[in-house]
Amino acid sequence: MDHGLTPVALGPQEGSTVLMEQNLYGYLGALEALFLNPSDEAARAWWASEGYAPPFHPAVPLATIHRVRLQWLDATDDMLAESRAFLFDHGGYDAGPNLLAYTSKTRDAARAKRGLPPLRGEPVDAPMKATTSTAG
């Protein structure tokens, strides 16, 4: 029985997933660049781009990046030490009791569970390549 209704396309339109994937890789690439080389200026720009209210303390955006960096599987031993030192030096901005902060050992164990090699303190060549190639 025809009720004169026009079918409606549900779900993503052709090509829209490609744009969404490009946006995702762009976003992840920008975060990776920030994690690899955190700076106060870049952290403040990221903070504003995410739409957060102005921070209650000037160190909050960079402290946030350092806290997140402690959970990043591609953070080298030097990066983990740098982030811990920053957080320690800016008292009151510790990792917090509910934060899973990696050490070299726990990071490499988490990487092994995902089939990734241990870092042993070396910088990561191109972590986005692994993400891109596994995206299908």
Residue-wise pLDDT for 87-133, tens only, equals 888 875 555 555 667 888 888 888 899 999 988 755 444 344 333 33
Mean pLDDT of the chain: 78
Please give the pLDDT value at position 46: 93
Please give the pLDDT value at position 22: 84
Please give the pLDDT value at position 89: 87
Please give the pLDDT value at position 51: 93
Question: Alpha-carbon dihedral of residues 96, 98, 103, 106, nearest 10 degrees?
Answer: 180
Percent of the chain whose pLDDT exceeds 90 = 34
Name the band, by pLDDT with cuts 50, 70 and 90, for residue 45: very high
Q: pTM to 2 decimals?
A: 0.66
> Is residue 76 scored above 70 in pLDDT?
yes
